[in-house]
A and B are shown apart, each in its own frame.
Chain A
Amino acid sequence: DSGVTQTPKHLITATGQRVTLRCSPRSGDLSVYWYQQSLDQGLQFLIQYYNGEERAKGNILERFSAQQFPDLHSELNLSSLELGDSALYFCASSPRGGRYEQFFGPGTRLTVL
C-alpha cells in the first residue's frame, strides 16, 4: 500500500459524458501527478500540481483539466469523453518538488462505451 488513494476504482460511462477522478496523496506529500496508461500510448504524464499550483503539463487534452485543493487532494476532470479516453488513470505523489520518487495509487480504470 503506497498510501495514495484513488476513487473510484472502476468507471464505465458513455461517449460525450464528463467524469471526475479523485486522488488523495500520501500524508504530507505536496506534489500530485496524473498519468494515463493505455495500450497504444503506454504510460504518459498528464499534469502535475504542487501545493495547489499547476507545476507542469504534459500530453493533456484540452477536454481534460485538474486541480489540487487546499487539503492537497486532487481531481482530474475528463469531459466530452471519447472511446479513445478509455485507459487506466494513475495518480502519484511525492514529498515536494524536485526529482524524487513518486508513489503511485492503484489507479482508476475508465471505460468509455
Chain B
Amino acid sequence: AQSVTQLGSHVSVSEGALVLLRCNYSSSVPPYLFWYVQYPNQGLQLLLKYTSAATLVKGINGFEAEFKKSETSFHLTKPSAHMSDAAEYFCAVSDNTDKLIFGTGTRLQVFP
C-alpha cells in the first residue's frame, strides 16, 4: 500500500533562507508524486509533480523537488524563501487506483 510521511509538521525560516520540506514515500508501484500548497482558507494548488520522467522537477513559484528512489524521498526545496510562501504544504502519492494519498502536511512560516 502507498503512504507518505512528511517529517516536521512546522518549519520556520527567515526570508531569503533556503526552504527544505521533507517527504518520504512508500509505494508498491512506480510512484507518481505531487506537492500541493494550501494557503489559508483556500483549496489545494499543485506546485509540481513527478511522473517518472526527470528526477529533478521544477514547479511554480521557484520550488523544485528531487525524486530519489534509493532514499524513497521527494523533498521540496526553494533557494530563497519569500513571505508569500507561508502556507501549508502537502506531499501526495498517487496509487494504482488514481486516488491521492496525502501526508499530514508541513506548515511553513517565514519570518522577516
Return B96 CB to nearest CB of chain A, in Å.
Answer: 8
Majority secondary structure of chain B interface residues (helix, strand, loop or mixed)? strand
Report the contact-size class of chain B (Cβ under 8 Å from the partner).
20 to 34
Cα of A33 to Cα of B49 in the assembled complex, Å: 18
The answer on a CB contact under 8 Å between B42 and A106 is yes
Instruction: Kindly state whether residue B45 has any CB partner on chain A within 8 Å.
Output: yes
Return A29 CB to nearest CB of chain B, in Å.
Answer: 13
Instruction: Kindly state whether residue A48 has any CB partner on chain B within 8 Å.
Output: yes
Residues A64-113 near B (CB distance < 8 A): 90, 92, 94, 97-99, 101-107
Instruction: Kindly state whether residue B94 has any CB partner on chain A within 8 Å.
Output: yes
| Total contacts A-B at CB 8 Å | 55
Enumerate chain B residues within 8 angstroms of A2, measured Cβ to Cβ.
43, 45
Identify A45's interface contact among B49, B100, B105, CB under 8 A. B100
Instruction: Kindly state whether residue B67 has any CB partner on chain A within 8 Å.
Output: no
- Contact digits for A20-51, partner B, Cβ 8 Å, 1 yes 0 no: 00000000000101010000001111001000
The answer on a CB contact under 8 Å between A101 and B98 is no
The residue on B at minimum CB distance from A33 is: B99
The answer on a CB contact under 8 Å between A103 and B99 is no
The residue on A at minimum CB distance from B101 is: A45
Return A18 CB to nearest CB of chain B, in Å.
Answer: 24
Identify B46's interface contact among A56, A103, A106, CB under 8 A. A103
The answer on a CB contact under 8 Å between A104 and B45 is yes
The answer on a CB contact under 8 Å between A99 and B105 is no
Enumerate chain B residues within 8 angstroms of A103, measured Cβ to Cβ.
46
The answer on a CB contact under 8 Å between A45 and B43 is no
**Known contacts A99-B94, A103-B46, A104-B43; is A56 also within 8 Å of B99 by CB?**
yes
Instruction: Kindly state whether residue B97 has any CB partner on chain A within 8 Å.
Output: yes
The residue on A at minimum CB distance from B90 is: A43
Enumerate chain B residues within 8 angstroms of A104, measured Cβ to Cβ.
36, 43-45
The answer on a CB contact under 8 Å between A106 and B101 is no
Instruction: Kindly state whether residue B102 has any CB partner on chain A within 8 Å.
Output: yes
Known: A31-B98, A56-B98. 4 other contacts (CB 8 A): A45-B100, A90-B44, A101-B34, A104-B43
